[in-house]
Every structure is written in C-alpha cells, then in structure tokens.
A and B are shown apart, each in its own frame.
Chain A
Amino acid sequence: MSPKTLYDKIWDAHVAHEADDGTCLLYIDRHLVHEVTSPQAFEGLRMTGRKVRAPEKTIAVPDHNVPTTAGRENPEQMTEESRIQVAALDKNAKEFGVHYYPVSDVRQGIVHIVGPENGWTLPGMTVVCGDSHTATHGAFGSLAHGIGTSEVEHVLATQTLIQKKSKNMKVEITGKLNPGVTAKDVTLAIIGATGTGGGTGYVIEYCGEAIQSLSMEGRMTVCNMAIEGGARAGLIAPDQTTFDYCKGRPHAPKGGAWEQAEAYWRTLFSDEGAHFDKVVTLKGEDIQPVVTWGTSPEDVLPITGVVPSPEDFEGGKVEAARRSIEYMGLTPGQKLTDIEIDTVFIGSCTNGRIEDMRAAAEVLKGKKIKDGMRAMIVPGSGLVRAQAEEEGLADIFREAGFEWRLAGCSMCLAMNPDQLSENERCASTSNRNFEGRQGYKGRTHLVSPAMAAAAAITGKLTDIRELM
C-alpha cells in the first residue's frame, strides 16, 4: 500500500460514493450551524419538504449577531434584523430537532470554540460549518472547512458534500519558538510567506517541532487562519496533547469506546514517504512577534519593521498596497511601533480561548490601560468566561480598565453593536483586517493577545518582548 498523508487517510475514510470523474460524496460527521448562513438553508428544506438527515450530528449556536453586553436576553439589545436571524435559528433548531445552545445557555459561544470545548470535534472526523473559520477544527486532525449556504442545505438534507479532493501541502515549522512568539505570530508569519492565495487548492498539514509543542488552543489558532492563506483546510496530526484535551469532554467517547477511538486516532498521521504536492518550511527561531500593516492578512511584518512602500511590491499588489496604506492612514517608512492605537479587541474564534485570556492577563496584571483607550475582552464562550472568572483573570482585566464581555463573535466582524467608527484604529486578535471588516472605515492591525494587551497599556503597537 502506498504511503498516505493524514488528509488522504481522513478523505478515504469518508467517501460515501465516487463517480468516474473523481467527484465524491464526502460523508460529514459534524455539522455546525450559526444564525447568519443557515436561515436560507432551513427555508430551502421547508420548501422542498426535506428533513435534516442526521440531527444528532448537527449542532447549532447563535454567535455572529448576539450582543456581548449584560442583559442581552432582552431582545431590545439587538437590531430588528439580528433579532429575526437569532429567532429563526431558535425556531429552526427546535423544528428540525438539532442540538442547540441558545444565548441563555452558559455553553453558548463562538461556534468554533463551542464545538471542541464540548467534545463534538474529535480526531479523524469531517466537520463543516457555514463559516470560513471552520478550519479551526483541523487542530484535532479532523478535516474541517467552511461551506456556503447552498452546501449547508446540502449537508442538512444528505449529510454529505459533493467534493473533489484537494492537493496536499506540508507546512513545517522546525525548532523552537522564541519568547514572546505565539501561535498567532506563527500563523500570520506563514501567510506572510505564502500569501493569501498560496494555499488555494490545497489542504495544509502543519507539522514540525514548533507546531507539536503548541497546546490545543495554540493549534486551533494556527489552523483557524489556514483559510486566510487560501487553503481549504488546515490539519495537525493528533497526539497525546490532543487526546488529553478531548478526554472527559461531554460528547467525547467514554470507557471502552474511548479505548477503541484512541487506538484509531493513533493511526492518523502522514506515513513516512507520503507525497506532498507542495512543501513550505519555516524555522521557528526566525519567527518574530508580527503585526499587519495593511488590509489583507498577507500584509504582515515583524513588529520591528516599518510601513512598506507600494514600490516594494510587484504586479497587481502595487495598487493593492497603495490602496491599503491610504485606507490605513499610514506613511511608508513609518516605524510600526510608532503607530498609535485607539481601541483594543481581544477575542474571536482565533484568540478567544482560555489560553488567550491567560496570555492577556499576564501582560495586564497590575497595569492600567492608557487614558482614553477603548479596550474590550470578549471570551469565546460562556465556559471560557466562567473559567477566566474562576482563575481571577476577569478581575485583572477589569482592574486594568478593560470591558469584560459576554461570549460572541463581537468586533471580529462587527455584526453586533461592537464596531469601530470611521478611522478608529484597533489592535485586534481577530483574523481579518479587510476594509470595513470591524466597522465602516475602521482600521485593523492583527496581533496576538499579548501584543494586543501591550498596545492597550502603551497606546501604540508594541513589541511584547520589551514588556517581558
């Protein structure tokens, strides 16, 4: 038998039908659903009289639109349109009998944090959601990717997706990471190296010592942004760290079933000599704390750098860089550490987990944010929030001057009231710095939680190593 990659193995285990031209029906083990991309899909089922084929494998939670301020059970906190979407999810979840975590449930949160936290996401599974950051779940060695609403309807009705296999790409991060360098810096540095289209047509397997030494939270941060590099999915082979994270979670297998599952999971790795169509290698030691300067996640530089000039680029990127620099209100040659920040946002499916809260708290302990700074921390789920309160992190945030919010997607995409105003500049732990992403004409610099916390204190983009 020829050696297989991890992706090959998961793919092969999920093909329910293969046509002569290689078009496959890929079976889906977990379907996560949120309020923004699902209403039209449920409506489609209703119009055609179809049912959800596997409601027991379908998990719904509202996250994109929900307010993150106290008293949000009161629907008056939402705009009418948001209220309609959340109400539609409520109705659809009940009518079609899928698992559901409503806003009032402590387990509610960002769908990509809720899935792993409750043991829905397990190694070797196929996981989809009508959200591009579904790639997050690849951290468990599960094949996970975002889909559009037509595909959401297709999975609801058939529990399969029509797919052709992607190519295999290996991204290896060798060696160790330096102090101050986090999973966020690693994933941004990879996109900086490959470009936002570099992964198009591929499923990426991240490997190497620097990846293996990351916690599950860190691995989820890395895989989360696979999509920003254009890849269909990102994967990390499951290991003891993965198994320890999964064990005891509410929907993880128990007893004999756990033993059987773990034995299978231990076969999920790329075989020696397996073929990769593309290989990218970075040295862990070379990665520095990074920040984005432009309006594409590939516009990334070490914090010690300066704002580039459009002439530094080639082809279509020259005009894109000119437009980005103007939009961001920057000057070529300006030191990144001279950029003043108005707002700090810590949260999102990229960096809204307990480890991110701890990293921010470590920087903020005993400190105050700069006068006039607007700073908010939005935990990724109600359970993350509860744990952060138990560990005393919430007190550190409040004493430093941060707003300590309830769980949701919040200012990552600003569909709820948490938004930037025109020209407001934000150091954000989210995943996209697109024009208008965090609010009309808002300016986003993507950073790690520690760097975001540091910026809140100093009022500028800051090299975290100087505060260590």
Chain B
Amino acid sequence: MKKFETFSGIAAPMPLVNIDTDMIIPKVFLKSIQRTGFGKNLFDEMRYNRDGSEIPDFVLNKPQYRDAQILIAGDNFGCGSSREHAPWALDDFGIKVIVSTSFADIFFNNSFKNGMLPIVLPQEQVDVLMADAEKGANARMTVDLEAQEITTSDGDVIKFEVDAFKKHCLLNGLDDIGLTMEKEASIDAYEATAGAERPWV
C-alpha cells in the first residue's frame, strides 16, 4: 500500500447527506475483475448525461474542482453496499481525504485499506471546511496525518482523531495481511482451542 504523506490540495464541497455507494460507483461498473480504472465512472449518474456528456453543475465537473483531492461531504457518507469499488473509484480519481460528520462502517474501513483517510469531525467544523471548500480552487487545504491536523486556506487549524493502528498503517503503507501473518502462532493456537471446545464449527 502507498504511504500517506502530508499534502495540500483542493477540497470539493458535497453537502448532500447519505451519499451511498451506488451513487459513488453504480453497479454497472462493478463487473471488472481489476482494482483500477474506476475513476472515470466515479459518481457516474450524477456526473454524466446518458449520452456521456458532462453535467456542468456537478461539483467535480466545475473547472475549479476537477483536480480535487479532498471531499467535504454530508452526513453518513458511503452508506449502502460493501463494494470496495467505491473507495477504488475515489482513489483512482485522485481523492485522498474525505471529511464528514459520519461514515458508514464498511466504507470507512475499506478506505483505510486503500491508503485513503476518512476524517470524522463535528458539524461545526465540517461547516467551516465546507465554507472553505466553497471558495474554489484557490482555497487549498493541507492535511497532516502525523500531526492529525487540517489547515484551511485561511490558516485555521482543525485537529482530528484517528485510530492509532490505522494511522500507523497509513503512514507506513503497511499491508494488513503481512502484519496479521506475523501473528500466525496466535491463530494456530486459537484454532486448536476453539476446535476442541466447539468441534462442530
């Protein structure tokens, strides 16, 4: 997995609540057996007309947000299906950080597995970032995971919480499976004990 490094980027505002994974990547694009190439269909039904032309009002089609790396989103972002194609599509587009008041559980976990950082903040702070994002391309935010800080274009610093283990994995680009396999002895021991206690499993 790629390491998460401090960066400054454009933030796009998406205040709609309950943005679901069907919106993020509609099911017609789930038929690939690869992990890449989903970015062009990110938010497909909101972003394109049926003839393939862009819907100019959609935020990521506006000139100032086409290179956005941060999304400031409404509550309960990523609800719905478990499809990891949703974070794959965001990542492929270039989004590295999503900020919301809450995320759906599976989407939240899936994002970390792909080197992306979902950040949960209280409504008032999301409102500050939303207003900053509304300013357009000149308003670049800086995200520093090590310090757990977002700096707005006005220089305001907003602190955020992140699980220590997940932070460690992101900063170092660590592969979960490799880490778990180092604990293989524990898994072996568990299987022996549980197998004796609950042999029908």
- Is A bound to B? yes
Are B31 and A320 in contact, CB atoms less than 8 angstroms apart? Answer: no
Instruction: Judge if B180 is at the interface, Cβ distance under 8 Å.
Output: yes
Instruction: Judge if B136 is at the interface, Cβ distance under 8 Å.
Output: no
Instruction: Judge if A465 is at the interface, Cβ distance under 8 Å.
Output: no
**Which of A125, A231, A316, A435 is the one whose CB lies under 8 Å from B15?**
A316
Rounded to whole angstroms, the CA-CA distance of A154 and B84 in the bound complex is 14
* Set of chain A residues within 8 Å of B79, measured between Cβ atoms: 196-197, 230
Are A158 and B106 in contact, CB atoms less than 8 angstroms apart? Answer: no
**Which of A36, A82, A257, A413 is the one whose CB lies under 8 Å from B200?**
A257
Q: B44: shortest Cβ distance to chain A, in Å?
A: 9
Closest to A164 in B: B163
Are A323 and B16 in contact, CB atoms less than 8 angstroms apart? Answer: yes
A27-B191 contact, Cβ under 8 Å, with A201-B105, A436-B22? yes
A146-B82 contact, Cβ under 8 Å, with A154-B177, A197-B75, A320-B16? yes
Instruction: Judge if B34 is at the interface, Cβ distance under 8 Å.
Output: yes
Contact with A along B56-74 (1 / 0, CB 8 A): 0000000000000000001
* Set of chain A residues within 8 Å of B180, measured between Cβ atoms: 25, 154, 157-158, 160, 162
Are A88 and B33 in contact, CB atoms less than 8 angstroms apart? Answer: yes
Instruction: Judge if A387 is at the interface, Cβ distance under 8 Å.
Output: no
- Chain B interface size band reads 35 or more
Are A124 and B80 in contact, CB atoms less than 8 angstroms apart? Answer: no
* Set of chain B residues within 8 Å of A257, measured between Cβ atoms: 199-200
Within 8 A of A (CB), among B148-179: 163-165, 176-177
Are A124 and B82 in contact, CB atoms less than 8 angstroms apart? Answer: no
Are B176 and A25 in contact, CB atoms less than 8 angstroms apart? Answer: no
* Set of chain B residues within 8 Å of A436, measured between Cβ atoms: 22-23, 26, 45
* Set of chain A residues within 8 Å of B102, measured between Cβ atoms: 197, 200
Instruction: Judge if A386 is at the interface, Cβ distance under 8 Å.
Output: no
Instruction: Judge if B8 is at the interface, Cβ distance under 8 Å.
Output: no
Instruction: Judge if B138 is at the interface, Cβ distance under 8 Å.
Output: no
A150-B176 contact, Cβ under 8 Å, with A82-B31, A158-B187, A317-B17? yes
Are A16 and B35 in contact, CB atoms less than 8 angstroms apart? Answer: no
Are A260 and B31 in contact, CB atoms less than 8 angstroms apart? Answer: no
Instruction: Judge if B7 is at the interface, Cβ distance under 8 Å.
Output: no
Are B75 and A40 in contact, CB atoms less than 8 angstroms apart? Answer: no
Residue of B34, B102, B176, B184 ringed by the most chain A CB atoms within 10 A:
B176
* Set of chain A residues within 8 Å of B103, measured between Cβ atoms: 200
Are B15 and A319 in contact, CB atoms less than 8 angstroms apart? Answer: yes
Are A147 and B23 in contact, CB atoms less than 8 angstroms apart? Answer: no
Instruction: Judge if A43 is at the interface, Cβ distance under 8 Å.
Output: yes
Are A132 and B84 in contact, CB atoms less than 8 angstroms apart? Answer: no
* Set of chain A residues within 8 Å of B27, measured between Cβ atoms: 413-415, 437
Instruction: Judge if B20 is at the interface, Cβ distance under 8 Å.
Output: yes
Contact with B along A136-162 (1 / 0, CB 8 A): 000000000111111101100111101
Contact with A along B83-103 (1 / 0, CB 8 A): 110010000000000000011
* Set of chain B residues within 8 Å of A13, measured between Cβ atoms: 194, 198
Q: A132: shortest Cβ distance to chain B, in Å?
A: 4
A200-B106 contact, Cβ under 8 Å, with A21-B165, A434-B22? no
Q: How many residues of A contact B (CB 8 A)?
A: 79
Are A437 and B16 in contact, CB atoms less than 8 angstroms apart? Answer: no
Residue of B45, B76, B177, B199 ringed by the most chain A CB atoms within 10 A:
B177
Are B83 and A124 in contact, CB atoms less than 8 angstroms apart? Answer: no
* Set of chain A residues within 8 Å of B163, measured between Cβ atoms: 23, 164
Within 8 A of A (CB), among B8-37: 15-18, 20, 22-23, 26-28, 30-35
Closest to A323 in B: B16
Rounded to whole angstroms, the CA-CA distance of A150 and B82 in the bound complex is 11
* Set of chain B residues within 8 Å of A298, measured between Cβ atoms: 18
Closest to A231 in B: B105
A196-B50 contact, Cβ under 8 Å, with A84-B33, A434-B23, A434-B80? no
* Set of chain A residues within 8 Å of B35, measured between Cβ atoms: 40, 149
* Set of chain A residues within 8 Å of B17, measured between Cβ atoms: 315-317, 319-320
Closest to A88 in B: B33
Within 8 A of A (CB), among B109-131: 109-110, 113-114
Instruction: Judge if A204 is at the interface, Cβ distance under 8 Å.
Output: no
Rounded to whole angstroms, the CA-CA distance of A43 and B34 in the bound complex is 9
A146-B106 contact, Cβ under 8 Å, with A25-B180, A39-B33, A434-B23? yes
Within 8 A of B (CB), among A10-34: 13-17, 19, 21, 23, 25, 27, 29
**Which of B34, B104, B189 is the one whose CB lies under 8 Å from A40?**
B34
Are A124 and B198 in contact, CB atoms less than 8 angstroms apart? Answer: yes
**Which of A27, A36, A122, A148 is the one whose CB lies under 8 Å from B106?**
A148
Instruction: Judge if A423 is at the interface, Cβ distance under 8 Å.
Output: no
Are B22 and A437 in contact, CB atoms less than 8 angstroms apart? Answer: yes
Instruction: Judge if B6 is at the interface, Cβ distance under 8 Å.
Output: no
* Set of chain A residues within 8 Å of B110, measured between Cβ atoms: 148-151
Are B20 and A434 in contact, CB atoms less than 8 angstroms apart? Answer: yes
Closest to A30 in B: B201
Are B187 and A150 in contact, CB atoms less than 8 angstroms apart? Answer: no
Instruction: Judge if A253 is at the interface, Cβ distance under 8 Å.
Output: yes
Within 8 A of B (CB), among A153-185: 153-154, 157-160, 162, 164
Contacts A/B (CB < 8 Å), 10 sampled? A16-B186, A37-B83, A84-B33, A124-B198, A132-B81, A149-B35, A150-B110, A154-B176, A319-B17, A436-B23
Binding site for A on B (CB under 8 A): 15-18, 20, 22-23, 26-28, 30-35, 45, 50, 74-76, 79-84, 87, 102-106, 109-110, 113-114, 163-165, 176-177, 180-181, 183-184, 186-187, 189-191, 194, 198-201
Question: A13-B194, A316-B16 are known contacts; what are 4 more A-B pairs with Cβ within 8 Å?
Answer: A85-B33, A159-B191, A320-B17, A434-B22
Closest 4 CB pairs of A and B: A81-B31, A253-B200, A148-B110, A150-B113
